[in-house]
Amino acid sequence: MRTGWRIAVIWACTIARLGFYSAMLPLWEGYDEWAHFGVIRTLSQRGGFLVARQAPIPRDVEASLELAPVPWELRGLPPPAVTEDVYWSLSGEARAQRVASFHAMPVNWSREDGAGSLTAYEALQPPLYYWMMAPVAGMLRGAGLAAQVTTIRWLSVLIASLTIPLVFRIGREVFADDRMALGCAALVAVMPGFALDVARVGNDCLAVSLFTLLTWLGLKVIREGLVYSSAVCLGLTLGLGLLTKAYFLTALFPVALLFAWQFYRARGNRAAIVRCALLASAVTVLLSGWWYAHNLRATGTISGLSEAVMLRDWRWPAIIGRAASIHWATAIDSVLFSHLYFGGWSSLTARSWMYHVFYAAAALAAIGLVRLRRRPAVLGLAVVYAFFWLGQLYNVVLIYLSKGVATSMGWYLYAVVGAEVALCTAGLCAILPVNLRRFAPAAGVFLFAALDLYTMHAIAIPYYTGFIAHLPTGGLPALHLYQLQGGGLHTMLTRLATMEPTTESTRSPRYSSGPMPRSTTAAAW
């Protein structure tokens, strides 16, 4: 009973913390957030089953990109769009006019197409998350844009929070110790990168929960064996995951290996294992096979992602040859630091030595895992994690060949965060003295909590409120305490609420009496 209360407290604290992140992040600061929202809005307003990949974004979304400060990664958008850096250098009157114009946007703009070239390009993603959120946007049709975005963020937070009890379950499968399992759940609860990934409008919240569920179900099969009920659950989870995010394709290989291992172990009852495997496969294909057949027909690729489409005419020998020229150490480093903390779409980063503390801990854990390689649960998690990393490295190749940059999105690794924290904890425990092993999760919680406190209060909030800005070199200085003197703290808190939906009822007659001019130029990011 005490364990149940503890995980409930961790879960509730996670929801509160993610809710704070969703309220703190400025509009569109989440990765690709405006494009995800554009797909949801188009589905809710126009109906239909899917959104065209080149569908224009709604007019109010387009206007918001010209009025609200945009993330640093969108600095290439033409005027009147401005980044956070430029926005806070404007006069108070200019900012007030933008805020008033933002809140005075006519509701019917949500039903009109934007005039620029921006498209809801996230329509190339599997549609399950958008189907779930479109009815919510439809019910909020009369509310303002900020209110709709905030509501969908909160719902995304609730979905993502399901990861916490699932990570606890994974920890119990690995350690058979509730205290260690609680430590694994608490580790995820304080990770700043996890919060940034899921506290926004985007399908990662659902994908992370489903991938963590799939990981736990796989561990249950390893322990209990494959039966019809577990096969159906595996098929349902994998099918729904494939309808949420293309990176679930990396899970096909671990699941296939799981079936093969069960077949090997069964010996005298292998026919039942084959039937269970076929049942799980059939459920998966029935749920998601149509989407990947649609991709193949429409784009000539299975995933349908833009980089894969750009390279669909390449032959494997050419791809492998070019991949050999990638500086892989740099690419892997970029994946790791953008996994630990990358500060949303403004690409905020902490000090380099902070990342290397976590790198060192991960290296020690990897050494310790060698001692545990014969434990079935550890081996199963290692297979899941390794195949996901292979998917990341493949994405590095795609991005490098299509855009010339050797990187991938480190925040995608939160899909396997349950495997990650359990493996790291188990590896560190394997090399620590027996009397210190129980402190391994607590040490991880302390490190991530310290990273979260520093990045939130010295980097993120100061940047989003104009107290710090990018240097000419692209770097970002940290906040100094003297900047909060003389009313600085009050100014910071006031600026945080600038674009909040609670102010939407105060519409200025000056801007609501007629339509605002539509932008004649826009550029896709």
Q: What is the CA radius of gyration of the chain?
A: 24
Percent of the chain past pLDDT 90, that is, above it, reads: 68
Whether pLDDT at 57 is above 80 = yes
Q: Could you read off the pLDDT of 457-491 as tens digits, one per residue? A: 999 999 999 899 888 877 788 888 777 777 788 88
**pLDDT exceeds 70 at position 523:** no
Query: Whose CA is closest to 414, among 308, 350, 360, 341?
Result: 341
Q: Determine the pLDDT at residue 498.
A: 59
Residue 521 pLDDT > 70: no
CA distance 162 to 169: 11
Using the predicted structure, report yes or no on whether residue 328 has a pLDDT greater than 70. Answer: yes
Residue 1 pLDDT: 52
Q: What is the mean pLDDT of the chain?
A: 89
Q: Check residues 307 and 452 and name the one with the higher pLDDT.
A: 452
pLDDT digits (tens, 9 = 90+) for 237-287: 999 999 999 999 999 999 999 999 999 888 778 899 999 999 999 999 999
Residue 134, pLDDT > 60, answer yes
Mean pLDDT value of segment 384-400: 95
Helical spans, DSSP H, in 341-375: 352-370
Q: With cut-offs at 50, 70 and 90, classify the pLDDT of residue 513.
A: very low
At position 487, the amino acid (one-letter code) is G
Picking from 219, 246, 253, the residue whose alpha carbon sits closest to that of residue 233 is 219
pLDDT exceeds cutoff 70 at 112: yes
Q: Tokens for 399?
A: 């991005």
State the virtual CA torsion across 233, 239, 244, 247 in degrees, nearest 10: 100
Backbone angles phi, psi at 411, to 5 degrees: -65, -15
Residue with tokens 């430590």: 183
pLDDT interval class at 12 (50, 70, 90): very high
Write down the pLDDT at residue 266. 83
Give the pLDDT mean for 367-390: 93
Q: Taking the complete model, does pTM exceed 0.75, yes or no?
A: yes
CA-CA distance, 311 to 322, in Å (whole number)?
A: 12
333 pLDDT higher than 50: yes
